[in-house]
Structure 1
Amino acid sequence: MERTTPARAVPASTVLLVRDRPAFEVLMVTRHQQSTFAAGALVFPGGKVDPEDRNDGWGETVDGWHSVPTDQRALRIAAIREVFEETGLLMAQSSASRDCAAETATTARREIREGHLDFLTFARSAGIVFDAKQLVPFAHWITPEAMPKRFDTHFYLIAVASEQQAVSDGLEITNAEWIAPAEALRLGRARERIVGFPTRLNLQLLAESRNVNEALSRAQQRPIVTVQSRIEQRPGGRVLTIPRDAGYGSVEEPLSEVAARDHASVSVPRRS
């Protein structure tokens, strides 16, 4: 069979928001059952980069803008915007977050969702200053070429104030919850929740830390290795594997087990 050209991997950002309250927790959201991607799954907030995330005007309202590599700027804006749209949390400098009234943020969130307001205009009008340095690179995953829908996803780690309340948008996201990484993994193993392959491995990486400071320190010291999982044939069948130097240890899982564990959330591509 003639091979088709792989779908383009769309640039995207995902955010691991962590806090100590007093236990180490990460914010996770549940995707709507009608979503076209990862329906019903427990995931980290995030989404694809939008054209407005590339606006040069962001340099006026982001502290540390010029210290961020040019190819990372839109990704970081997408991370900040998606977290606000999905959970209502503003990843801004602390004083700016407090000064932005809850009612103002709620109204802006609705207007952005309805297309009546863009995120940059909201930030400017509310006098919000974002801190680009708060976002610590955590991982980089690219969806395998065999998949029909592909993302080039950069994961970021950020510490948030424990008093901030996350509220799902009720559309793409049906629930937002703070949860210990180990507990999220347990729920996935017990098949009580859908936890996809990339999410599960990044939860395992996060669970190696005992608190926010340790997680930030580990992320800052760990080199980011791009992960593009592969399907390989073994004597016992096909397995899903990732590069050994990616920081996740040796990963080689039977494809059938991955699909079953993730409630069939992983599409198994046909052989060409």
Structure 2
Amino acid sequence: MSTPADHRPSKEAAKSPAVPRPSASVLLISPTNQILLLHRVSKASSFASAHVFPGGALSKTHDGIIPDVNDPARHQDGPAYRMAAVRETFEECGILLAKNKKTGKLFTEVSDKDREEGRKAIHSGKVKFADLLEQWGATPDTESLIPFTRWITPPNVPKRFSTQMYIYFLPLGSASPTRKSAPGGSPGIEAEEDELMIPKPTHDGGIEHTAARFLPPHKWIDLARQNRIILFPPQFFLTLLLAPYLSANVTSPSSPVPTHSELQLEREKVLDFLSKPRTYDGQVEVSFAKACISPIVLGKGQYGDKSQDGVGGVDKHTAVLVLDGPGKEVEEQGQGRRGIREWVVTTKFRKEGPRDVDVRRREEVLGTGGRGKL
């Protein structure tokens, strides 16, 4: 069992940092381009009481060969990470990211009863995930997972992970069994004849989660900024990046359902954002698909102490996390990977978890001095 303290940076680096556990998480996008977050129980093994993406640690039983700690593939996208992403999503919210072997479409041909029994059997280790899929005539849709940064917990945090983040778009034209038409009675995308019935996401019965819900990204960010929910920096940062693109015009429950073409255009803009070359301060930067980020909390003597003297309105009680480094483990392997320089995350680490989380332009907080050219 862990608490928020297990994920809060200490003031000094540990003498023997914990080895990051390989894990995978999925930003699951609904047929109406909303994002799924799960509410962790207060006694969860990690990220207690926070809202998180579906995901978890890799399992050698279910996910295949896990790269050794000294293998460069340990911190790279690969088969075991992708299988874990599919498996953990199914375990944690009941949505199976797999294809029907006969039709090639998203696999939904399983009863609610069998689905729930399958989730429990996998979680308890009574059946292998691959065996269950074979029994159902399904194959994991690992190819549709889109890399969206890797995050490696810094060495001064007790509980560490090397997490490959992915985006998965549920098919447009798919339906939720709880919604038949757009507000006002006009047909929504759910009314198409060839629609797939996507099961409503559900929590796991209180084992690790108490709620599972799709909302527009900007709605989740609003809730976090009001401190009504807890989002740790990676979840806040990635959700914020998607907010301008997905469901940005959905401002209330009465907002009309976007058309199929509008939804598809939103997704195309996300893909372009992820992959296109970017520049910062005249230098070519890594894409969001390939970025490897190990957040570091600035301390005295770093970046000219600008994070500690009120620059950019940051007070001494607010931590500033820079995102430009890939972490010691990746640096020592000489992979030449990088993080993101454009932004920093600011937050106050409280007993219950990070509060007042936000993302700001790097130069607004750190100025133009410090380590390297900004």
Q: TM-score normalized by structure 1?
A: 0.82
Alignment correspondent of 2:244: 208
Alignment correspondent of 2:295: 229
CA distances 1:188-217 after superposition (whole Å, capped 9, x unpaired) = 010111111111111111113233332234
Aligned-pair distance for 1:116?
A: 1.7
Classify the secondary structure of the residue corresponding to 1:98: coil
CA distances 1:70-99 after superposition (whole Å, capped 9, x unpaired) = 960000000000000000101012636133
Larger Rg: 2
Q: Is contact 1:13-1:154 (8 Å) kept?
A: yes
What RMSD over aligned residues (CA atoms) do the two structures have, in Å? Answer: 2.5
Question: 204-213 vs 149-158, which deviates more?
Answer: 204-213
Is it true that 1:168 corresponds to 2:234 in the alignment?
Answer: no
Paired residue type of 1:227: I
By percentage of residues, which structure has more helix? 1
Hey, what's the Cα distance between the residues in 1 that align with 2:353 and 2:227? 11
Segments of structure 2 that go 5 or more residues without pairing to the other structure are 1-11, 66-75, 176-197, 247-265, 277-286, 300-304, 310-315, 326-337, 356-374
CA spacing shift, 1:125–1:139, aligned 2, 3 Å: same
CA spacing shift, 1:54–1:176, aligned 2, 3 Å: closer
Aligned-pair distance for 1:115?
A: 2.6
Runs of 4+ aligned structure 1 residues displaced above 6 Å come to none
2:92 is aligned, of 62, 86, 89, to 86
Hey, what's the Cα distance between the residues in 2 that align with 1:14 and 1:159? 14
Paired residue type of 2:323: I
Q: TM-score normalized by structure 2?
A: 0.61
Hey, what's the Cα distance between the residues in 2 that align with 1:3 and 1:37? 19
CA distances 1:89-134 after superposition (whole Å, capped 9, x unpaired) = 0101263613333332222112222332121110111111122220
Hey, what's the Cα distance between the residues in 2 that align with 1:188 and 1:220? 27
CA spacing shift, 1:213–1:20, aligned 2, 3 Å: farther
- 1:162-201 aligned within 5 A: 162-163=174-175, 164=198, 165-170=200-205, 171-201=207-237
CA distances 1:5-34 after superposition (whole Å, capped 9, x unpaired) = 11000000010011342xx31011011111
Segments of structure 1 that go 5 or more residues without pairing to the other structure are 57-69, 267-272
- 1:118-267 aligned within 5 A: 118-161=128-171, 162-163=174-175, 164=198, 165-170=200-205, 171-210=207-246, 211-221=266-276, 222=287, 223-233=289-299, 234=305, 235-236=308-309, 237=316, 239-243=320-324, 246-247=339-340, 249-251=342-344, 253=346, 257-260=347-350, 263-265=352-354
Q: Which has the higher contact order (CA 8 A, sep 6+)?
A: 1
Hey, what's the Cα distance between the residues in 1 that align with 2:36 and 2:269? 17
